[in-house]
Amino acid sequence: MAERTRHNDYPLGNWLLRQRHRVADGLTDPARIAALNALDPHWNPPWPLAWQRAYHRARAATTSGNLTAAQGRWITTQTRLWDSLHPTQQKLLADLGAAPVTGAVPTPTATRRYPPGGGLPHAAAHGHLAVFKQTRHHGFALGYWLIQQRRKARAGLLSARTLQGLTLLGPWWNPPWPFAWQRKYHQHRTLHAAGQPLPPKLQRWARKQTTLYAQLHPHQQALLSTIDIRPEALADEAPCLECDGKTSESDHMELLFPPCR
């Protein structure tokens, strides 16, 4: 649901957003996670939440027989990106009757030019294209341009030339998982390679990967193995972070999840 969604005048959408942030930081009680998982196993997916919302809209429209042209294009785009999707995303799409595209896929003709150097100097220097929105390269707004290219790729509107060029520069320039994860991975990889200590936030991020490892995309798991993060690698070192003293919404939780009698 959208962040603005309210239920009985309670800001449920905003509350769920906070819960996702708390889970990401390892600060959520396992009982609360279990209760939310019981309501919706994919309430906090390892792929972008925007994808999950689009899927639910397409599923509802498919069920009611009111699939719009835009929703049909979205499903078609997913069939073209099938191999890059999480196995669970593939299963969800299969439930809609979708299947991966076989054979050549037509792509639009390029209509815009690359930025100076096509991003190559940045990729060569840093080994990736996981840049921030504000990143500029020789005066060109590289970060913003890359965001635009990701949106086009997800809508099936990116030219074959641009897609091939960016993939050669950074295979995971447009990952099927949240882009924030990709940035954290590269931050960890850079410090790991340099033998430098990790700041607290990255330490928490690394511990989170060990506990949520099974939920990650297989390619995420492969990336983590390159920086020595595996399911049990840091399990014995992870401190208890379930309680941080911020439980102001507990009364609301009792209303949403009454205790078993």
pLDDT digits (tens, 9 = 90+) for 72-105: 888 988 888 888 788 899 999 999 999 998 765 5
Is the CB of residue 184 less than 8 Å from the CB of residue 137? no
Q: What is the pLDDT of residue 136?
A: 85
pLDDT-based confidence at residue 188 (cuts at 50, 70, 90): very high
Judged by average pLDDT, the poorest of 31-35, 58-62, 252-256 is: 252-256
Q: Does residue 256 surpass a pLDDT of 50?
A: no
Q: Measure the CA–CA gap between 196 and 190, rounded to whole angstroms.
A: 9
pLDDT in tens, 226-247: 999 998 644 444 444 343 444 3
Q: Is 108 helix (H, G, I), strand (E, B) or coil?
A: coil
Name the 3-class secondary structure at 117.
Answer: helix
User: What is the reported pTM?
Assistant: 0.55
Give the model confidence (pLDDT) of 64-81 as tens digits: 999 998 888 889 888 888
Q: Which strand (E) or helix (H) includes residue 19?
A: helix 12-24
Extract the tokens encoding 117: 């150097």
